[in-house]
Structure 1
Amino acid sequence: MPPSSGRNLPSHQEPVVGATVQYVVDTLTMQIMGGDYGLDERLPSERQMAQDLAVARNTVREALDLLEGRGLIRRRAGSGSFVTYDPKGQSEALAPVAAETGPLQLQVVRGILEPEMVRLAIINMPPRAIEALGETLSQMEAVQTEAADFVRLEEEFHRQIAAGTGNPLLIACYNLVIDARRQSFRAAMYRRHLTPNRIATYQRGYNALFNAIAARDIEEATEFMKLTLIEDQKLLMQEL
């Protein structure tokens, strides 16, 4: 074994952060990736974000450090924090993969990711993130007939669960899954099958899923994800 130089080697791993910092990171990540803040747009001041998120300013500062390390923002002394995440560049890079992914291939990947995703989210989601998930659920439950609105909110619900894992790589992978789900075959499938009665059925199911997440019931939540995949598979087989 070579002798030690006595110096610590640099580490590329992020430090372990507290639940409140993770909540701020997850919230800002969703806002940036969801398009609330565009490329080169300035984020609100640390004071404003601390007020909006009901956290301390040093918590916001620590979260911004992590986002800068992930390449989502850059910070300019005296000017603030600016978004560097380019959704157009990301979409152009990932679009061929999503376009080339067939419906059965998509189902396989969802079967791998979604049950584990909800398990990790239950372990890692702070209470504020669960509250935000509940707000999205309330919007989903208000939809009665508009399939497009329901699909959009369903995507946001799943995106929040992905963000709740606190795993940037898993979040990026699931964004690609969402891109693949938006392909024409699935859009057409929803137009034909997402009737008001089916929307109501899904709303009851997502209510049960949210309750399981809020109760930190991993078994119940993962079982729901598996059953949802089976139902989607049945619809898909009617189309093929």
Structure 2
Amino acid sequence: MNDTLTNQLLSGQSVGATVQVVIDALFARIRSEEYPADTRLPSERTLASELGVSRNTVREALDVLENREIIRRRAGSGSFVTYRSAPDRNGTDSTVAERTSPLDHLVMRGILEPEMVRLAVINMTPRDLEDLSKTITHIESVRTEISDFVRYEEELYRKIAQGTRNPLLASCYDLVIDACQQSFRAPLMRRHLTPKRIQDYQQRYNTLFNAIAARDVEAAVEFIKLHLVEEQKLLLQDG
């Protein structure tokens, strides 16, 4: 189903304002693939607790999503995502990523990441934070494996982006990660991601997580700005 049409259909339902807020929140999570296709949604009780509404409100929102074929309910099993975003037919994202230089990439990170972290601090749910904590644990388990560290680092940033509850921002940041995966990053990491530097990054990301978990917007944003300065120094050193 076309994304624009889906938004119009969902917003056109005759439902109460609170139900519409829940519909929008759930659909944003589905579109950002926080709840990927074919996966089961959290229980009505869990969603009600996370969103601060009654189970009846959640149930009514799920009714709308099911009617629009965004989800499918299975008796005794729960609600499952059936929605799939329209594919990128032009390959535009890939082309942009391939043309992005290391400096372009860092500039975009400087624009997006402070606001991304700010929104994540405000909007991440306890469930999001628990999931983010697991990624931090994975990061801290790495000793020398560069590929593992990079994979978990990307996972960390994706979860923070998804935690903003802003699907457009999350999609923009997916493109930033795509650019990050281009050829310039591999040799850069091989040259600079030593065991000592891995430990340094582990400490940094632990600090970032603690600020997000404490709902400390100022500390989290200040941290990411300082982290980006260090990333810039690394890039200039490489140049």
Q: Which residue of 2 aligns with 1:190?
A: 189
Q: Which residue of 1 aligns with 2:84?
A: 84
Deviation digits for residues 213-238 of structure 1 (CA, Å, limit 9, x no counterpart): 01111111111111111111111112
Q: Which residue of 2 aligns with 1:138?
A: 137
* CA distance in structure 2 between the partners assigned to 1:94 and 1:202 by the alignment: 28
Q: Which residue of 2 aligns with 1:50?
A: 43
TM-score, scaled relative to structure 2: 0.75
Q: What amino acid sits opposite 2:22 in the alignment?
A: V
**Change beyond 3 A, Cα 1:222–1:181:** same
Q: Which residue of 1 aligns with 2:233?
A: 234
Q: Which residue of 2 aligns with 1:222?
A: 221
**Change beyond 3 A, Cα 1:107–1:67:** farther
Q: Is the 8 A contact 1:23 1:129 kept in 2?
A: no
Matched, 1:115 2:114: yes
Q: Any idea what SS the aligned residue of 1:206 has?
A: helix
Q: Is the 8 A contact 2:70 2:82 kept in 1?
A: yes
Q: Is the 8 A contact 1:25 1:67 kept in 2?
A: no
Q: What is the root-mean-square deviation in Å for CA atoms of aligned residues?
A: 3.6
Gapped regions of structure 1 (runs ≥ 5): 1-9
Percent identity of equivalent pairs: 48
* CA distance in structure 2 between the partners assigned to 1:230 and 1:221 by the alignment: 14
Q: Which residue of 1 aligns with 2:5?
A: none
Matched, 1:17 2:22: yes
Aligned length: 212
Q: Is the 8 A contact 2:28 2:166 kept in 1?
A: no
Deviation digits for residues 69-95 of structure 1 (CA, Å, limit 9, x no counterpart): 8xxx744688964242366x3793310
* CA distance in structure 1 between the partners assigned to 2:190 and 2:212 by the alignment: 29
**Change beyond 3 A, Cα 1:81–1:27:** closer
Q: What amino acid sits opposite 1:140 in the alignment?
A: I
**Change beyond 3 A, Cα 1:77–1:67:** closer
Q: Which residue of 2 aligns with 1:170?
A: 169
Alpha-carbon distance, 1:153 to partner: 0.7
Q: Which residue of 2 aligns with 1:161?
A: 160
Q: Which residue of 1 aligns with 2:151?
A: 152
Q: Which residue of 2 aligns with 1:204?
A: 203
Q: What amino acid sits opposite 2:85 in the alignment?
A: Y
Q: Which residue of 2 aligns with 1:29?
A: 33
Q: Which residue of 2 aligns with 1:7?
A: none
* CA distance in structure 1 between the partners assigned to 2:154 and 2:90 by the alignment: 16
* CA distance in structure 1 between the partners assigned to 2:43 and 2:205 by the alignment: 30
